[in-house]
Amino acid sequence: MAFSDKIVLITGGAGGIGRSTAHAFVREGATVVLAGRDMTTLAEAVKEVGPGKADHVVADVSDAESAARMVETVVARHGGLHIAVNNAGVLAGFGPVADIDTAAWDDVLRVNLTGVFLSMKHEIAHMRAHGGGAIVNVSSNIGAHGRLAGMAAYAASKAGVSVLTRTAALDHVADGVRVNAVSPGASDTPMSLRPGESRADRAERMRTAAPSGRVADTSEVAESILWLASDAASHVVGHDLVVDGGATA
């Protein structure tokens, strides 16, 4: 029970990787608060993860006031915030750069990058005033490699998350706040399905697309997040842990 008495905020907590991460933290004794924009999905996720162990807060991380309220609500209801997983993200704005819709570009950057900044801003402000904490941002292996054509908006947003993680880690290590990231490759959620692709089609594609021959199970990403957030990683600061079955090795 590595996380007994810990309060953990997970943005995008009702989605695939977020929900798996919530299950893993609860298994280790934590209380989790799942954040997202849709109350119905959040309530259903709380029921699945474990009422009494899980709570939810409706928040849009791309909105400055909403992100501030999200952290205030967690602290007001649970008396503190020890760990935050900034996992909320969207995949949109497809196409070659010359054809990317400007509004879609703005939206992807606002959720994926500004959302992580706004979340961390308020999480860290609380943590540094209350004995420290640990933050894990969910980036992507595409952020460091630009692996796929037609995904410039998403790739740029995740490159931003990875470097924001490193600089935030330097800014706040002396405050007792450890900031790290995970960079998953294709993981078993609808986000890794191409338009019109079934899970079976994706499994076939992944046989050659990744050295591991498969997508990650969301639990494999979750366990990496737990390790980075745990005391076992107490001297790990500003690290970006790639979880992609060797796709970018």
Of residues 42 and 124, the one with the C-beta less far from ligand NAP: 42
CA distance 124 to 97: 34
For residue 132, the minimal CB distance to ligand NAP (Å) is 25
* Cβ neighbours, 10 Å, residue 184: 27
CA distance 206 to 187: 10
- Binders in 46-65 for ligand NAP, by CB under 6 A: 59-62
Marked catalytic residue, from 59, 109, 154, 245: 154
CA distance 63 to 37: 11
Site for ligand NAP contains 31 (CB under 6 A): no
CA neighbor of 80 nearest in space, from 25, 11, 129, 23: 129
For residue 235, the minimal CB distance to ligand NAP (Å) is 26
* Cβ neighbours, 10 Å, residue 101: 13
For residue 82, the minimal CB distance to ligand NAP (Å) is 20
For residue 175, the minimal CB distance to ligand NAP (Å) is 25
Of residues 128 and 166, the one with the C-beta less far from ligand NAP: 166
Give the residue, chosen from 7, 9, 36, 210, that forms a contact with ligand NAP under the rule CB under 6 A: 36
Tokens 């029921």 appear where?
A: 47
Query: Number of residues in contact with ligand NAP, rule: CB under 6 A?
Result: 30
Residue type, 212: S
Site for ligand NAP contains 90 (CB under 6 A): yes
Give the residue, chosen from 16, 133, 160, 245, that forms a contact with ligand NAP under the rule CB under 6 A: 16
Site for ligand NAP contains 15 (CB under 6 A): yes
Site for ligand NAP contains 165 (CB under 6 A): no
Three-class SS of residue 44?
helix
Tokens 């609380």 appear where?
A: 126
CA distance 116 to 86: 6
Q: Is position 154 annotated as part of the catalytic site?
A: yes
Site for ligand NAP contains 38 (CB under 6 A): yes
For residue 218, the minimal CB distance to ligand NAP (Å) is 7
Phi, psi of 96 (to 5 degrees): -65, 155
Q: Binding marks (x or -) toward ligand NAP, 189..218, rule CB under 6 A?
A: x-xx--------------------------
CA distance 238 to 219: 22
For residue 119, the minimal CB distance to ligand NAP (Å) is 9
CA neighbor of 62 nearest in space, from 34, 94, 86: 86
CA distance 188 to 142: 16
- Sites of contact with ligand NAP (CB under 6 A): 11-12, 14-18, 35-38, 41, 59-62, 87-90, 111, 115, 138, 140, 184, 186-187, 189, 191-192
Q: Which residues have a catalytic role annotated? A: 154
